C-alpha cells in the first residue's frame, strides 16, 4: 500500500495555495466535503499518507479559531478513517505571538496549540517562518518543520538593488537573528557585503529617548525585514527612522502580510515596495493597492520540495 | 490550602450566568484579563480549586470555535499557574450534533472536542442537557456531569396546565427518552397521569407518507419537548401535527434556545409560549418577542447545587 | 518487509469463522499456542501486519471476560514481539449494552473496554453491527470499523417475500434507525416500496397502555429487525403485536443470535424463520432447532472485503 | 472534603475479607449494586477517597478474568463519578505466574495487567505476597504495595515448634529469597538460630538426578515455605524429600492456598498442618479437611495497618 | 493528611542550599540514603507533599547528567512510595543553552529534559533564571516557575552606585529583555533614571566590524548583566567595550556563575566586583579570588517565599 | 521510502562495536556530529529506519549517566528530524542491578530507565544479557529484545574442555536459570551430559556457615557462569569453592566484563581463562592481562542477525 502517492487536501480558503503545491508535485487535490465545521474526505484515506493544507489566518468568513477547529476535526476524521500518517501544512500558523509568559499567570498559547494538534493525532506539522523558533521547537512533541523564507526574499531583492550599498534592517531586537539570516543570504546572492542595522529600544541619561536606529544606513538602500506585518506600524517606524538617517531607497519585506489595519498605510507610501509571501492573501487591501505596492513571493516551491524530500514522493 | 473556597471565573459573554451561580454560592467572580484570545487570571490560582464558566454558542462577536479556543487557552493558563483542579461549566456545549459517523469517513466531533479539552488539562466538565448522552458519556475520559433540566420544565408547566389532560410530545424518535423523562417528572408534579406522543418518520404501502404523530392528543394540552431549538422547524412541525390532531392547547419546551433563524417563527405564534433555559440568551430575538413568547427558566440553581455537592463548597 | 502479507490468528472458539475469512483471502491461519490465558504466536510476527479474530460471546467454556482477557494478552504479546500493526476483528463485541449512564454513578463500560483494548496496544478494531454506534464511535480513540449487516439481510429476505407487501418492523424505538436502514436496503433489492412500523412504549389518557405497534402491517409480510437476540422476548413481543395487527407472514432478523434463554421460544414458533449472522454460533440451541427455525447468514465476505480494502492485501 | 473518611467497597466474593478490614478500621462497607458485570456505587463517591477490595482468584461462579473485569469496570465508574483517589486491594492478585518471557514471543501478562488497571484509572494497588516482586515492581507505573506475610507466618510457627531445631525449606530456587526472609523472621521470634534448606534441580555426572534437598534437615523440624499452593505437588515433593532426609516434624506454609487439585493431597497427610492466609478461602476443600489440616492466618490486620498509614485514616 | 508540612530533601551537593531554604521555612531537611545512583527517602513519604532540591551543574565528582539521573531516580522512588506531590527545585537547571534547532537536524534538549522529568512523574519544577524563558515555558507540560533574580541584583547594586549615572548593559542582543528588566528594577530602587546599552553584532559598509556597544556609557557607571557566566569571555568583551567607551566604573552580574575556565579572568580584574547568586557555588575559583572579586547573593529567600505561597506551607 | 536501508549510528565510545555490526550487514555507519551532549545526525534521517548503538558503561571520560543522556538526546533529535523508527542497541544496558525494591521506599531504576527511554520516543531496544529478565520484560512498554549469549559461550568452551567431565557452576542462586541455559547449550555442543552446581547461601544448626557449593565438581572441569563481572569477587569465591571441592580445571565466563576493581584479581589467576563478550571493552585492564587471561567473544554476529531478521534488511 505504501507505494500509493500521498493524498493532498485543502480546507476552504487554502485551495488556491494547495493547488499550486499539487501542480508542482504533479498531482491533484483530493476531494472532500465541508459543511460548516463538519468536514469529511471523499477519497478513501485508509492506509494512506495524507497531507492537509490550511493557512490559519482569520478573515471575514472564518476566524483563525474557526479554521483551526475545522482543521483539527478534519484531521481527526482522517485518522479515524485509517489514514496512516497525517501531515499538516500551515503556511501561516496562528497564535505565534503568545509564545511565552511575560506577565504573571500568562498563558503559553503556542504550547496549548501543540497539545490540541497532537490530541487530534496529527503526525507532523510544516509551518512557514514561525514567530519564535525556540518556542515552536519546544512546544511540539511531534516532528515539525519551520521553513524559512529568507532565501526567497534575498533572491527577490537581489534583482532590485542594483549596485547600491544595501543594509538589512531589523525593526526590533527580537528579529535580529532573522534579519541577520536575510543579510547573509542577500550577500550570497549579491556576491558582495551587505550591512546590518536594527531598531533598538534605548534609554540615555534619565530620559526615555524611544527607539533608535543602530547601524549605518546613510546613502544606502535599506531593506526592513520582519516575519509578519500586522497593522504595519512596526515597519513604518523602522522605515521613517531609515529615511531620517539618510537612506536613499527603502524596501520592506515580511513573510506574512496580514495588514489588519487595511490599506491606510499605503496612502503615503514609504517603501518602494513591500515584499510578502503568499502565506496570507492580501484580502484586506484593494487590488490596485496590491498591484502597486506589494510583490508577492511564491512559497509553494519550498513546500513542494520539502514534501518530496519528506518521503511522500520519494518512491514514485 | 484546601480549605480555601474555589475561585469562579467567567469568560466574556458568560459573566451574567456565572454571577448568578456565584450569588447562590455566596461568593463573587474572580478577576481575569481577556484581550482577544489572551486571557489570564488576575487572582492567584496556585493550589486552588477553580471553576470556569463559558457557554459555547456562537454569536455575532465570537463563533463557538472562538469561545472554545479562548476557554481552552484560559484553562491551560490556570493549570500552568498551578491551579490544583480546573472544572469547566458549559451551560451550552457545542458540536453535540456531530456525535457519530453517519456517513463514510465522517468525523466524530464530540470525541475530538473531548480530546482537546483533555489536552488543555481540564479536570472536569459540567454540561446542561447534552444532545446525545451516550456519545457524551463515551467521548470524555475525565469525569463529566450531564445535568438534565426535565425537572425544571416539569415544575414550570405544572403551573400552566390547570386540570386539563396533558400529553408530552417528542418531536422525533431520537428524543423519545428525553420526552419520557419529562413526562414522568410532570406526572410527579401534577400527581396524575400524563400521556405521551411522538412524531415518527413512517411509511405505509409503497408511498412515503412523511412524519406521523403517534399517540392521542385530541382534546388535550400538548407540550412538545426537545433539547434544542435551532431554526425552530422541528418544533413547528410537531406543533402543527398536534394542532391538526385536535390538541386544544399547545406549549413547547427546549433547554437550549438558539433561534438561528431569528424571530420569523413568531410571526404567527403556534404555541402559547415556549419555555427555554438560560443556557443561551435569546440575543437573536427582539426583546418584545422574548417577553411575549418565551419563558426563560433559571438553571443556575442546578449548577450551584452540583458545585456545592462536588465538594467545592463541602468544607466551608 | 511491508510486502509480506498480513498474518491471521484466531483464538480458541473463533477458528471456524477466521478460517473462512482466510479462505476468501486466499491464505491460511497462522499458528499459535494457547494454554489457558497464556497465548503466544508461533509464526514470527516481527515487523508484520497482524489480524486477530475473536468473537467475544460467553459460552460454557469461557465467559466473555475470559475471551476478552485472552485476546488482550495475545495482542500484548504480538506487539512485544515486534508486530508492526495489530488489527482485531470481533464479529461479536461484548458489553455493547452498557453504553451510557442511565442511573446515577453508572459505569460506561463501552469506554472502559476501549481503554483496555488501547492499553494493550491494539491498533484497530473491526466489529459487526455494534449495539449503539454513537457510543462506539466516541469510546475508541483508535480507528474502528462498525460493519453493518443490513445489506446482507435485505438480500436474504428479498428471496423470501415474493410479491407481497412488506413492512420492516423495529422492536423498539432505539432500533428505529437500524430498521430504517434495513427497509431502504430491502427496497433497493426488491425494486419497490417497503413499509415501516415500530413498537413504541406509549401512554394515553392516564392509563399505561404498554407498547403499541405503530404503522400498518395488516395483510402484509412483517420482518422484525434487531441487532441482537438475547432471551428472544423482545422479538416475541413484536411478533405477537404484528400477528394481532393482521400481518399475514412473520419473519425476524438479528445480527447476533445469543439465545441466552435456550430453545424454549421455538416450542411454538412465531416466525417462519429467524435470520441471524454467523457472528455467534447458536450453540445453545439443539441442531434440529437450528435447522428448522434459523437461517444463518455468512458475514465473512464483509470482513474479507474490508481487510482487503484496509490495505492489508493491497499490494499482493 | 478531605476530612471525610475513605469509602470501602468490596465486590462479590470479597465481602467477608473486606468487612473484617473495615471492622479493624472502625467503619462499614459502603453500598454498591452488582448486576453481572454492571456495578455501580450507591454511596456518593464524588470527591472521596475510595478503597475497593477484590481477591482475584477464580471460583465456580466467576473466573479470575470475570473478577478482574468487574473490578476494572467498577473502578472506572468510581472515577467517572468523581472519586478523587481509587485504591485497589487484591489479597490475591492473578496472573503472577506469567511474569516474563520464557519462550520466544511469550506474553508478559503481569505488565499487560498493569496497563489495563492503569487504563481504568486506578490510583494505587495493594497486593499480598506477589509471586515475583521484581516483575511486579517493574510492571506498574502507579504506586503499589506488595505486603509480605513472612512475619505473620513466623509468629504463627513460633508457637508450634517448641525447643526443636528448626529449618526453613524453600521448595525451589526461585523462592529462596522468600524462604530466607521467613527464616530470619522466625529467628527473631524464636530468639535462636534457624537453619535453611532448599530443593534444587541439579545434575551430576552425566545423569539427570532430579531435584535434590540442599541443607541439613535430619533430626529437625522442617517448615516448607512458598508463596502459593496450586495443585500442592511442589510442597509434596519438598515434604517427601525432608522426610527422607530425616526431618522429625514437617510443616508447610504458603500465603495463597488455591488447592486447584482439591483435597486429594490430604488423603495421606504429609504435614502436621499447612498454614495459609485468608487471601483465598479454601472453597475447594471440604470443611473437615480445612479444620484438620489447615491453619488460616488473618491478614486483614496487615491491610488495615497499611490503609491507616496510607493516609486514608490519617486525619480522623 | 494534608495538614502535614511538606518534606524537604536535598541530594548530594545541594544540601547547603536546601538547608538555608529549610531554615527560612522553619523546618529541617528530611533524611535520605544516597549510594551512588541509588537514593531512597528514609522519612516516610506516603501521602506527603515533597520538595526535592538539586542544582544541576557538573562538578568534579558528578557531571550534570549524573545529577540529573540521580534526581530523576529519586523522584521516581518518591512517587512509587506514595508521595502525593513532588516538586523539584533546581537553582541551576542544566542544558538551557540547547533550547532550539539552529542547524539542520539539531536536538531541542530543553524539551527532551522536560519529557524525561515528566516521565519520572515530577509534578512541578522551580528554576532560577532560565536561559530562554520562551523555550522553558513551551518545553514543560507540568507547572513550572522561572524565578527571576533581577530584583535581588537591583537591590544589591543600589547600595554600590552612589549618585553616579548608571547604565545597564546587555552583553548580547539575546539578553536585552533580561537587562531591561534589571534596568527597570534598578530605577525603582534608585528612584531615578537608569540608562541602557547593549553589545550588538553589527556590520557597516562591506566590512565586518564585529560587535559594537550601542548606547551611551561615557562618564557613567556600567553594570553588565547576564544570566550565566560560563568561561567569562562574554562579560569580558562587554566590559572592555564599556571601558573603551569611557565608562567610569564597571560592575558585572550574572545569576549562575559557572566559571568553567577557572580564575584566569581575575588575573587582571576588569570589574570592581561581579555579583552572582548562590545557585552554583564558585568551586572552581580559589577562596581568595571569591572573597576579592565576587559578591554572592542569597536566593534562598526567593525560593522559600515561593514554596510558602505555593501552598506547601499555606495551612500551617 | 521504505526500501531504503536503515541508517546505523554509533555514539562516542561505541563506534568500534557498531562498525563491526555494520560490516556484517554490508554497510557503513552514518555520520553524526557530537559536541559534548549536543549530538545531531549529519545524514538525513527523515522517513528512515534508524539504529543507534551505545554501550552504557561508565569509563574515565563519560559516566553511564553521561552516555545515557547523550543517547536519549540523540534519539530525540532523530525523531524530531522525522526518523520513522528508532531502534537502540545497548550491548551493555546500565542500572540492571537496581531492578526491584529490596528495602522500604527503594527505587525501581530499571523502570525509570524505561520511562525515560520511552519519553525520548525510542521505538525499540535491543540489549545483551540483561541482569534480571523478569524486571526487564516488565519495565519496558516498547518492544525489547534481550539477546542471550549462552550459545556463544557454549560454543567457545566446547573447544577447550576436551573429553573431561564438565560442570556448569552458578555463583549464586539468582543466576541458576542462566547457568542452566548454558549447561544445556554446552551439552548440545559437546554431545554429552554436563553437570550443574551452584553456590548457595546456606545455614545449618544455629551457626552461619556462609555460602556452600552444591553439586559435584570433584575431578571435573568447572565453568563458573555469570552475567556480569563487577569487582570479580563473586567469581573468585565460586572458583575457590570449586578448587577446594576438587575441581581439576577452572574456567569462568560472563557476558559483561566491567572489572571495576582493576587487574588486581589476576595477580594470582584462579581460572585458566575468563571468557567475556565484547559488550564492554576491558579498558581497566592492562593489555597483557587481557591477552593472558581473557578470551573476548564477538557478539556482533548476534546483533547483526537480529537486525536483519528485524526487518531492517529484510527487503534488500
pLDDT digits (tens, 9 = 90+) for D252-264: 999 999 999 999 8
E vs A contact (3+ beta-carbon pairs below 8 A): yes
Residues of chain E with confidence (pLDDT) below 70: 1-3, 201-210, 310-316
Contact assignment for B193 to C183 by CB distance below 8 Å: no
- The answer, yes or no, to whether ipTM is higher than 0.90 is yes
**Tens-place pLDDT, residues F142-173:** 999 999 999 999 999 999 999 999 999 999 87
Asked if E315 reaches chain B (Cβ–Cβ under 8 Å), the answer is yes
User: B18 CB contacts (<8 Å, ≥6 apart)?
Assistant: B8, B9, B10, B29, B53, B89
For cell 491464505, the residue is C27
The pLDDT of residue C313: 55
Query: Is A15 a residue whose pLDDT tops 50?
Result: yes
Burial (CB < 10 A; 0-12, 13-18, 19+), residue E123, is middle
User: What rounded mean pLDDT belongs to chain A?
Assistant: 92
> From the CA of D312, how many Å to the nearest CA of chain B?
16
| Helix, strand, or coil (residue C233) | helix
- Cβ distance A127 to A93 under 8 Å? yes
Distances (CA, A) of E301 to C183, E10, E22, E228, E306: 76, 17, 10, 20, 9
Q: What share of chain D is helix, strand, coil (3-state, %, to 5)?
A: 35, 25, 40
CA angle A37–A40–A41, rounded 5-degree value: 145
Q: Which residues of E touch A201 (CB under 8 A)?
A: 180, 196
Task: Extract the C-alpha cell encoding C293.
Answer: 427455525
The pLDDT of residue D164: 93
Task: Extract the C-alpha cell encoding E81.
Answer: 512510595
What sign does the dihedral A290-A295-A301-A304 (CA atoms) show? negative
**Tens-place pLDDT, residues B133-147:** 999 999 999 999 999
CB neighbours of residue E183 within 10 Å: 25
User: E301 CB contacts (<8 Å, ≥6 apart)?
Assistant: E24
Q: Which chains touch D (3 or more CB pairs under 8 A)?
A: B, C, E, F
- Cβ distance C57 to C280 under 8 Å? yes
Whole-number Å distance between alpha carbons of C89 and B92: 38
Whole-number Å distance between alpha carbons of E86 and E83: 7
Distances (CA, A) of E13 to D16, E18, E42, E67, E281: 52, 10, 18, 9, 10
A167: phi then psi, degrees, rounded to nearest 5: -135, 135
Asked if A111 reaches chain E (Cβ–Cβ under 8 Å), the answer is yes
The beta-carbon neighbor of B1 closest among E124, E143, E314 is E314
Q: Which residues of C touch B110 (CB under 8 A)?
A: 138
User: B56 CB contacts (<8 Å, ≥6 apart)?
Assistant: B64, B67, B68, B71, B90, B92, B93, B94
DSSP state of E5: P
DSSP C278-289: TTS--TTS-HHH
The pLDDT of residue B245: 95
The beta-carbon neighbor of B310 closest among D3, D46, D80 is D46
Q: Which residues of B touch A66 (CB under 8 A)?
A: 63, 65-66
Strands, DSSP E only, in D176-270? 195-204, 207-214, 221-229, 249-257
Interface of D with F in 247-306 (CB under 8 A): none
Whole-number Å distance between alpha carbons of D78 and D40: 8
Query: Is C15 a residue whose pLDDT tops 70?
Result: yes
Q: Which residues of B touch C192 (CB under 8 A)?
A: 206
> From the CA of D158, how many Å to the nearest CA of chain C?
39
Whole-number Å distance between alpha carbons of F6 and F22: 11
The pLDDT of residue E316: 36
DSSP state of E61: S
The pLDDT of residue C199: 87
D vs B contact (3+ beta-carbon pairs below 8 A): yes
**Tens-place pLDDT, residues D44-98:** 999 999 999 999 999 999 999 999 999 999 999 999 999 999 999 999 999 988 9
- Cβ distance C126 to D60 under 8 Å? no
Among the listed ranges B9-13, B175-179, B244-248, B273-277, which one has the minimum average pLDDT value? B175-179
Asked if A108 reaches chain B (Cβ–Cβ under 8 Å), the answer is yes
Query: Is F316 a residue whose pLDDT tops 50?
Result: no
Whole-number Å distance between alpha carbons of F180 and F190: 15
Query: Is C3 a residue whose pLDDT tops 60?
Result: no
Burial (CB < 10 A; 0-12, 13-18, 19+), residue A59, is middle
| Nearest residue in chain D measured CA to CA from E119 | D141
For cell 527577490, the residue is A156
Interface of B with C in 154-183 (CB under 8 A): 165, 167, 173, 176, 180, 183
CB neighbours of residue B41 within 10 Å: 24
Task: Extract the C-alpha cell encoding B9.
Answer: 471565573
pLDDT level of residue B1 (50, 70, 90 thresholds): very low
The pLDDT of residue F313: 55
- Across the beta sheet with D49-53, what order do the strands follow? D7-10, D49-53, D85-90, D124-128, D144-147
The beta-carbon neighbor of A314 closest among F47, F80, F81 is F47
For cell 572592555, the residue is E240
CA angle E89–B49–D9, rounded 5-degree value: 100
The pLDDT of residue F205: 45
- Cβ distance E120 to F116 under 8 Å? yes
pLDDT string in tens for chain D (316-residue length)? 345 789 999 999 999 999 999 999 999 999 999 988 889 999 999 999 999 999 999 999 999 999 999 999 999 999 999 999 999 999 999 998 899 999 999 999 999 999 999 999 999 999 999 999 999 999 999 999 999 999 999 999 999 999 999 999 999 878 888 999 999 999 999 999 999 998 876 554 444 456 778 889 999 999 999 999 999 999 999 999 999 999 999 999 999 999 999 998 898 899 999 999 999 999 999 999 999 999 999 999 999 999 998 755 544 3
Helix (H), strand (E) at residue B208: strand B207-214
Q: Which residues of F touch E107 (CB under 8 A)?
A: 38-40, 73-74, 76-77, 80
Contact assignment for E202 to A214 by CB distance below 8 Å: yes
| Helix, strand, or coil (residue A275) | strand
Whole-number Å distance between alpha carbons of B312 and B28: 14
Q: Which chains touch B (3 or more CB pairs under 8 A)?
A: A, C, D, E
For residue B197, which of F206, C200, E128 has the smallest C-alpha distance?
C200
Task: Extract the C-alpha cell encoding B7.
Answer: 475561585
- Cβ distance F294 to F285 under 8 Å? yes
Helix (H), strand (E) at residue B124: strand B124-128
For cell 506474553, the residue is D107
Q: Which residues of F touch D113 (CB under 8 A)?
A: none
pLDDT level of residue C202 (50, 70, 90 thresholds): low
Q: Which residues of E touch B2 (CB under 8 A)?
A: 2, 315
Task: Extract the C-alpha cell encoding F186.
Answer: 554446552
H helix intervals, C51-139: 64-80, 109-119, 133-139
CA angle D25–D30–D36, rounded 5-degree value: 130
For cell 413512517, the residue is B202
The pLDDT of residue C206: 45
DSSP D57-75: ---SS--HHHHHHHHHHHH
Q: Between C and F, how many residue pairs show a Cβ–Cβ distance under 8 A?
A: 22
> What is this structure's pTM?
0.96
Q: Which residues of E touch A167 (CB under 8 A)?
A: 204
Asked if D124 reaches chain E (Cβ–Cβ under 8 Å), the answer is yes
**Residues in a beta bridge with C250:** C222
Asked if B213 reaches chain C (Cβ–Cβ under 8 Å), the answer is no
Q: Between E and F, how many residue pairs show a Cβ–Cβ distance under 8 A?
A: 116
Average pLDDT over residues A10-37: 95
Asked if B43 reaches chain E (Cβ–Cβ under 8 Å), the answer is no
Average pLDDT over residues C290-313: 89
- In a mutational test of the A interface, the residue from C139, C144, C311, C313 whose CB has the highest number of chain A CBs within 10 Å is C311
Query: Is B312 a residue whose pLDDT tops 70?
Result: no
* Residues A210-227 as b or e (16 or more Cβ within 10 Å = b): ebbbbbbbeebbbbbbbb
Q: Which chains touch A (3 or more CB pairs under 8 A)?
A: B, C, E, F
DSSP state of B26: T
Distances (CA, A) of F294 to B148, D102, F277: 78, 31, 10
**Tens-place pLDDT, residues F83-131:** 999 999 999 999 988 999 999 999 999 999 999 999 999 999 999 999 9
The pLDDT of residue C211: 72
| Helix, strand, or coil (residue E46) | coil
Task: Extract the C-alpha cell encoding F263.
Answer: 587487574
Q: SS3 letters for A197-216?
A: EEEEEEEECCEEEEEEEECC
**Residues in a beta bridge with C90:** C127
Contact assignment for A40 to B105 by CB distance below 8 Å: yes
pLDDT level of residue B203 (50, 70, 90 thresholds): low
Q: Which residues of F touch A143 (CB under 8 A)?
A: 79-82
User: F308 CB contacts (<8 Å, ≥6 apart)?
Assistant: F25, F314
- Across the beta sheet with F85-90, what order do the strands follow? F7-10, F49-53, F85-90, F124-128, F144-147
The beta-carbon neighbor of E137 closest among A101, A194, A202 is A101
> From the CA of A72, how many Å to the nearest CA of chain B?
8
The pLDDT of residue A215: 86
F211: phi then psi, degrees, rounded to nearest 5: -80, 155
Whole-number Å distance between alpha carbons of D20 and D10: 11
E279: phi then psi, degrees, rounded to nearest 5: -65, -35
Average pLDDT over residues C256-273: 92
Give me the half-sphere count of Cα atoms (radius 13 Å) on the Cβ side of residue B266: 20
Asked if E212 reaches chain A (Cβ–Cβ under 8 Å), the answer is yes
Amino acid at each position: 500500500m505504501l507505494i500509493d502517492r500521498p493524498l493532498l487536501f485543502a480546507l476552504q480558503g487554502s485551495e488556491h495555495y494547495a493547488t499550486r503545491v499539487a501542480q508542482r508535485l504533479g498531482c491533484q487535490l483530493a476531494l472532500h466535503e465541508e459543511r460548516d465545521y463538519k468536514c469529511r474526505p471523499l477519497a478513501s484515506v485508509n492506509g494512506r499518507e495524507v497531507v492537509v493544507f490550511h493557512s490559519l489566518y482569520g478573515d471575514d468568513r472564518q476566524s483563525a479559531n474557526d479554521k483551526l477547529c475545522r482543521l483539527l476535526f478534519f484531521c481527526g476524521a482522517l485518522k479515524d478513517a485509517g489514514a496512516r500518517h497525517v501531515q499538516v501544512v500551515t503556511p501561516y500558523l496562528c497564535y505565534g505571538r503568545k509564545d511565552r509568559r511575560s506577565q504573571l499567570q500568562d498563558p503559553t498559547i503556542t504550547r496549548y496549540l501543540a497539545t490540541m494538534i497532537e490530541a487530534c493525532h496529527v503526525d507532523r506539522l510544516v509551518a512557514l517562518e514561525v514567530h519564535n523558533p525556540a518556542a515552536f521547537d519546544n512546544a511540539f512533541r511531534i516532528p515539525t518543520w519551520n521553513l524559512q523564507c529568507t532565501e526567497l526574499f534575498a533572491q527577490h531583492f537581489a534583482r532590485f538593488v542594483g549596485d547600491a550599498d544595501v543594509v538589512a534592517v531589523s525593526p526590533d531586537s527580537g528579529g535580529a537573528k532573522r534579519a541577520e539570516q536575510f543579510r547573509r543570504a542577500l550577500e550570497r546572492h549579491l556576491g558582495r557585503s551587505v550591512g546590518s542595522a536594527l531598531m533598538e529600544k534605548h534609554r540615555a541619561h534619565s530620559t526615555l529617548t524611544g527607539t533608535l536606529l543602530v547601524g549605518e544606513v546613510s546613502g544606502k538602500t535599506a531593506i526592513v525585514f520582519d516575519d509578519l506585518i500586522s497593522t504595519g506600524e512596526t515597519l513604518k517606524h523602522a522605515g521613517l527612522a531609515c529615511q531620517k538617517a539618510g537612506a536613499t531607497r527603502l524596501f520592506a519585506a515580511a513573510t506574512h502580510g496580514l495588514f489588519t489595519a487595511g490599506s491606510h498605510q499605503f496612502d503615503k507610501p514609504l517603501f518602494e515596495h513591500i515584499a510578502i509571501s503568499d502565506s496570507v492573501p492580501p484580502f484586506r487591501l484593494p487590488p490596485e493597492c496590491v498591484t502597486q505596492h506589494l510583490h508577492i513571493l511564491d512559497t509553494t516551491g519550498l513546500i513542494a520540495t520539502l514534501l518530496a524530500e519528506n518521503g511522500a514522493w520519494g518512491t514514485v
